[in-house]
Amino acid sequence: MTLAVGQEELLLDRAVQEVVAAAKASDADTDVRDLTPDQLQPGTLAELTSPSLFAERKVVVVRNAQDLSADTVKDVKAYLAAPAEEITLVLLHAGGAKGKGLLDAARKAGAREVACPKMTKPADRLAFVRGEFRAAGRSATPEACQALVDAVGSDLRELASAVSQLVADVEGTIDEAIVGRYYTGRAEASSFTVADRAVEGRAAEALEALRWSLATGVAPVLITSALAQGVRAIGKLQSARGGRPGDLARELGMPPWKIDRVRQQMRGWTPDGVAVALRAVAEADAGVKGGSDDPEYALEKAVVTIARAARSRGRA
């Protein structure tokens, strides 16, 4: 018996696929029944799990087990008390209060439990991407993993698909530049890539990302906005009281993962450097909104100024 608990559809599907694959590896003729609550009427489970003359092996998958009718829940609990040797039962349960009695009964019966929680935090999605690369036997730099999450977003299926594509197309270690070539055509991701490289003092990489962004149609105003957010975040963290990321997150209105990132980026910054960078952003913003004959040059100038300001302490 396997109990998959959570609301992340990709992980739930994978839990089912893993059980089915193992069953078919043992017996290629294994019969798989994948059922929703409306298909599992009272008496259906008893029929599916009754002894077969030919000892036929089956995998019975019950989705959304929290939505089963009261009578069907009784059937499942009865089966849990006396499971059949040739049957593999897989229960998928959302994990909330609804249907908790069945959840507790499955756990008490010793079902193998697979956690499938909804991944709402960026740090969880980052860990997921790292795990995908490891599972594929491939190496990806931390910066590449973060860039992929930034570019693709929160959908786990899209993230898994992106990892699969990179693994299939690229040999050797996957780095941030490779992810950029594949995915930074997305406006939000590419503009923040420019900002990240600039506030980290990596002028050449920031300029490369800037030119890529502009070439792929990113609006200059999105880039100045990202630059402003990056510099302001450093200024906020500089002036904040020390503390744990969670405490600072509440104080500054940033998620904890961003606190950790900005802490890494702010090395080398001084208050004077932040002031210089903010002026550069303001000038670039005016330039891209009609104040300059060459908006691209205005952006390049701002990126170089910010990157230099990021290293102001080292030159002092």
Q: How far apart are CA 151 and CA 46, in angstroms?
A: 48
Distance of CA 248 to the CA centre of its chain: 23
Average pLDDT estimate for 121-140: 92
Residue 54 has pLDDT above 80, yes or no: no
pLDDT per position as a tens digit, 142-155? 989 988 887 777 77
Average pLDDT over the chain reads 86
In this prediction, residue 315 carries a pLDDT of 42
Share of the chain above pLDDT 90, in %: 49
Q: How far apart are CA 30 and CA 20, in angstroms?
A: 8
Q: In this predicted model, which residue has the larger pLDDT, 130 or 162?
A: 130
What SS3 string covers 269-299?
CCHHHHHHHHHHHHHHHHHHHHHCCCHHHHH
Q: What is the pTM of this model?
A: 0.57
For residue 298, give the nearest of 224, 242, 203 by alpha carbon. 224
Q: In this predicted model, which residue has the larger pLDDT, 27 or 247?
A: 27
pLDDT per position as a tens digit, 165-177? 889 888 999 998 8
Which segment of 20-24, 41-45, 205-209, 243-247 scores lowest on mean pLDDT? Answer: 243-247
**Cβ count near 258 (within 10 Å):** 18
Share of the chain above pLDDT 70, in %: 89
